[in-house]
Amino acid sequence: MTFEPQGENRFIVPIGPQHPALKEPGHFEFVVDGEIVTGASVRLGYVHRGIEKGAEDRTWTQNLYLMERICGICSHIHATAFVQGVEKLAGVEAPPRARAIREIFAELERIHSHMLWLGVAAHEGGFDALFMYSWRDREVVMDMLEMLSGNRVHYSANLIGGVKYDIPLEMMDKIREGLNYLEERLLHYLDVVNNDETFIGRTRGIGTMTREQAQLLGAVGPTARASNFAYDVRVDAPYAAYAEFPVEMVVAKEGDLHARFVVRILETMESIRVLRRIFDNMPESELVTRVPRRIPAGETISRVEAPRGELFYFIASNGGEKPERVKVRTPSLCNWGTVITLAVGHKLADMPMILAGIDPCFSCNDRLVMVKRNRQDPQVWTWADLRNYGIEYYR
């Protein structure tokens, strides 16, 4: 970390792209006056992998595995968004049992994601005991996913037209046992979050965002719902089996960091409730329906609720075996603006937790970067132009 003077008692504090506090590379600049942040900016693009362009050279089935790798934590929901869009273009619908299994995997993935976030956010605030305990308990849901699919991270449960794996009764019983344990632990974490004086001192009243600000800045997911902005794709536009097995939206009015912890913990407990209901009323049907190799020409969108918020896919087909275009808008991209806005007026020491409060995913954002010369010459830069610009910029 270095400091650049900006006048008397004012400095720019750069953090990243490589920094011990960052799990993924991103570059932040905070203008501070003493300990108070007076300005903030963020620069992303350090994990660009060209996934969207790569999708144009792969078949529909191959792209299913590519989309799962946009984000390891949210691999199933990315695959679900993709297959639902392709199925819509093809004019087919997955069988009822397959849609229920998609919801099961999605809610188990949500539990996994929120418990992982709980540990990371606690760690950023210096609460390493909560970090270690929540990650220990996270192993329970990872074991469930491994039992169902054979994998702990990329579950690869989806097929275009259905799912790969069935869930027999004996597996449901084992999952119920794990859910009972997780529910008990989550109640304990909720008690810690609501009653630990040190934790409350680091979160209550910090990074407060009003409902109007959340709507104006385009916040999504638990970040928005913690500010009383009631929007959840699972409720407002049900997909998979959410129409048959609905969830109850969790919202809070306070809009601060503490509310974001409470909302995510309560969402995790809601996932447990929904999973039990699905297991008690599992529909009977085939697991997959036939889908043509060549997807009819057309364009469509697919929206789902990822653990971090609304995930949006645009898919275009020219009638062949490969997509013409796949565009992905991830929830982290929507929530970044809230970090820069909420940082102003807080102490520099609050920045790690305000950043962690949106549950950011850097690799989700960085798929495509286009740089134009200027308004007079709007030609898109070539790779050589971009390379030369980078050399000159960092010279």
List binding-site positions for Fe cation: 74, 364
Q: How many alpha carbons fall within 13 Å on the CB side of residue 35?
A: 3
Annotated binding site: 52, 71, 74, 328, 361, 364
Q: Where are the alpha helices (DSSP H) in 125-256?
A: 128-149, 169-195, 197-203, 211-217, 221-225, 233-236
| DSSP collapsed to 3 states, 52-121 | HHHHCCCCHHHHHHHHHCCCCCCHHHHHHHHHHHHHHHHCCCCCHHHHHHHHHHHHHHHHHHHHHHHHHH
What span, in angstroms and rounded, lies between the C-alpha atoms of 60 and 77? 17
Structure tokens at 36: 């108070």
Are 334 and 218 spatial neighbours (Cβ–Cβ below 8 Å)?
Answer: yes
HSE value, Cβ hemisphere, 13 Å, CA-based, for 65: 4
> What percent of the chain is helix, strand and coil (3-state, nearest 5)?
50, 15, 35
| Angle (CA) 105 111 115, round 5° | 145
**How far is C-alpha 257 from the geometric centre of its chain's CA atoms?**
17
DSSP 242: T
| Binding site per annotation, positions for Ni(2+) | 71, 74, 361
CB neighbours (10 Å) of residue 29? 15
CA-based torsion, 103, 116, 121, 336: positive or negative: negative
By C-alpha distance, which of 323, 329, 291 is closest to 308? Answer: 329
